[in-house]
Amino acid sequence: MDTDRRTALQVLSTGNNGDPFAVLGLHEMEGKLTATAFHPDAGKVELVDAETGRVAATLSPVEGAAGVFHGKLRRKRRFAYRLRFTRGAERWETDDPYRFGPVLGELDEYLIGEGSHLRLWEKLGAHVMTHEGTWGTHFAVWAPNARRVSVVGDFNSWDGRRAVMRKRGGTGVWEIFLPGIGAGAAYKYELLDAQGHLLPQKADPFGFGAEHPPKTASVVRDLGQYEWQDAAWMKARGERQRIDRPMSIYEVHLGSWRRIPEEGNRPLSYTEHAQKLVSYAKEMGFTHIELLPVSEYPFDGSWGYQPIGLYAPTIRHGTADEFRAFVDACHAAELGLIIDWVPGHFPEDQHGLGRFDGTALYEHADPKEGWHPDWRTFVYNYGRAEVQNFLIANAIYWMREHHVDGLRVDAVASMLYRDYSRGEGEWVPNIHGGRENLEAIAFMQRMNALVYAEMDGVMTVAEESTAFPGVSAPVHSGGLGFGFKWNMGWMNDTLSYIREDPVHRKYHHGKIEFGLHYAFSENFVLPLSHDEVVHGKGSMLDRMPGQGADKFANLRAYYGFMWGHPGKKLLFMGSEFAQGREWNHDSSLDWHLLDTDLHKGVQNLVRDLNMLYASAPALYELDSRPEGFEWLLSNADESVFAWLRRGKAGARPMLVVSNFTPVERSAIRLGVPASGRWAERLNTNAAEYAGSGTGNLGGVASEDVAAAGQPHSIVVTLPPLTTLFFELEAAGV
């Protein structure tokens, strides 16, 4: 054996060989086959013919290379073989990973290098498969600047010398097929940086499963086994999620919706949520459930907004297939499922993406671009094609592999602006000297364009808190391409108004009116989200002024106003029954409050608002068009608002009236566009909502008296702190 060959074999035992396929396995040397194997604990190694079971060669230990065995074979042609190891009285056989060829093809390499592989998760990560006739798992990871990458796990005693991967050309992807490894195996990647320094072990960026925290390894999952039952929903989804359809979203944190006190206060599993949460949301009349992030994350207190495993449904509630069964249950109940998606930043945990191969791979190297000061997290480098590919493929992955119906994209404003939450001198301007993050804008445009092109009937929703133009405008017209945008301005203004003592509301009247000046500039969702019931803000009920029943009356009137206002609806869990305390992610909602009439009344109201909303096209068909809304009355002194909602041709118009004072207003004349009886479809003061029950006896007839620019009018009584809905009983207006 020549000196160079012996040196290469000796390096194997130190774990510093970055090209093990050039040494291990079968190789031709001087017209003969040689075999090399490595196992640090073996005393004897034999090559066994996989077909006959006969020993083809006994390999000898290599001097100065502990655990390395080498030998020559009499055969001249390669053949399928297994390795037989002996250690004392113990003997075992395995297939040799170094006898298998690559799995990734040239087209994969080209698309990965270009950053345009829309099925990237099908190639990177861990995939159970049969390769060259042998069953096992293929591992692949992007680490272009690493000297050596290994797969480690219980199956090789977490020894980074034993499953060193093959580097594929200029893409920076490393891969290896490990025979006999299947679903359920825990694993990580062990890397040496370009200087040969050992890095902290990394979870798989494309891992489809993870260990239960605080453990941090990825877990092999076979995504090819689940049998979907939601073909009917998937076929009809495009019709259900159009902009002119009703959308009432129940926002949920799975870890605290319900817990089981008798079992250590544990949260429900995906399987239990599929029964209890789905049936509850359906009974309450919601059209969608939105989950706070379910991508794997290390810290419970982040609520999922600092994810480590973007491709893994969190194991806190079950496996990937159990999550899929939850999605199936949503669709069986005709509920859409939206998940919060976090492409804006990622945490600094050592097993995560940060300095993945010893360099700033996923993040910017300059902390002025790559570090978020508020959240102490890394910021993605959107200008890097491979990073864009990683994120866009992830968006498509959730929709294709898990049948998710929509993505609500978190913290869009932090992505749009380079100076977001940064002081002077703490940020880097764009190439034009401006504050806009041009790379992030291009990323979001590309993501939306590709998601909508790849998947039928899905939607994306932006949580965007600034006045950035065209968030929900099409990409081809210069917009960001989202389907919807959260209306944070509406939320802030109206909550500020409703928390005022009613005697002072007339001085803040414009906060209710202002939202209508821009209500049709975007496709808006009206959000009363988890962010409004944390960090000392109290619950929705806490926001209401007054004492006792007045607080509930204020909340009911406000919810009525919200459901009557243009825009889709979103309500965080617990708010639908007036949770009394601020949300705590470590404990269950206070379901016992439903034993009291006031809390049960709010729940009944939200259910009926959802039912009315879904049954009245005037309340949703023209949500994003100004012709669907008309002011009829805006009286600051009396804090009374009245407006008309219209749908498409043939839809019955709906009159909505809010009285935000604790004073009954009688004989109020309101203009209406048509004659006939206007039925009182909903009254937030009704007895079934724990109100006083006063109202308009089910409806009022119009009079031929013009008012507020309308040819007819009705005279109504407005109970205190109440919102009323009146619908014309004859269609065709």
Is 348 one of the catalytic residues? no
Residue 442 confidence (pLDDT): 97
Residue 149 lies in a domain: yes
Question: What is the predicted pLDDT for the residue at 4?
Answer: 67
486: CB partners within 8 A, 6+ apart? 408, 461, 462, 463, 464, 465, 524, 525, 527, 529, 570
CB distance 268 to 258 below 8 Å: yes
* Nearest one of 376, 413, 407, 220 to 309, comparing CA atoms: 220
The pTM for the full model equals 0.95
State whether 113 and 95 are in the same domain.
no
If asked whether residues 136 and 186 sit together in one domain, one would say yes
Does residue 404 fall inside a structural domain?
A: no
Q: Same structural domain for residues 110 and 215? A: yes
Q: What does the DSSP assignment read for 24-76?
A: SEEEEETTEEEEEEE-TT-SEEEEEETTT--EEEEEEEETTEEEEEEEE-S--
Nearest residue to 556 via CA among 597, 617, 524, 508? 597
The catalytic residue among 109, 190, 272, 410 is 410
Same domain, 50 and 122: no
**Residue where one domain finishes, among candidates 219, 248, 267:** 219
- Assess whether 167 and 81 both reside in one domain: no
The last residue of one of the domains, among 199, 219, 239, is 219
In this structure, what DSSP letter does residue 165 have? P
Catalytic residue, candidates 190, 405, 463, 680? 463
Q: What domain range includes position 688? A: 626-728
CATH for 666: 2.60.40.1180
Q: Supply the pLDDT for residue 730.
A: 67
Same domain, 58 and 121: no
How far apart CA 626 and CA 642 sit, in angstroms, is 16
Residues 144 and 57 reside in one and the same domain: no
Any domain includes 34: yes
Q: In Å, how far are 38, 40, 42, 89, 672 from 66, measured between CA atoms?
A: 9, 7, 10, 20, 91
The number of distinct structural domains making up the chain is 3
User: Does the residue 384 lie in any domain?
Assistant: no
123 in the same domain as 42: no
For residue 553, being part of any structural domain is answered with: no
Parts of the chain with a pLDDT under 70: 1-4, 730-733
Residue 63 domain flag: yes
What's residue 7's pLDDT? 77
CATH number for the domain that contains residue 64: 2.60.40.10
Residue 16 has a pLDDT of 85
- From residue 526, how far is each of 171, 213, 529, 582, 664 by CA, in Å? 44, 34, 9, 20, 28
Among 180, 197, 219, give the residue marking a domain's end: 219
Residue 673 covered by a domain: yes
Q: Are residues 76 and 129 in the same domain?
A: no
pLDDT score, position 733? 44
Predicted pLDDT at 732: 43
Q: Is there a single domain that holds both residue 150 and residue 91? A: no
Instruction: Report pLDDT digits (tens) over 384-441.
Output: 999 999 999 999 999 999 999 999 999 999 999 999 999 999 999 999 999 999 999 9
In a domain, 345, yes or no: no
Q: Could you confirm whether 230 is annotated as catalytic?
A: no
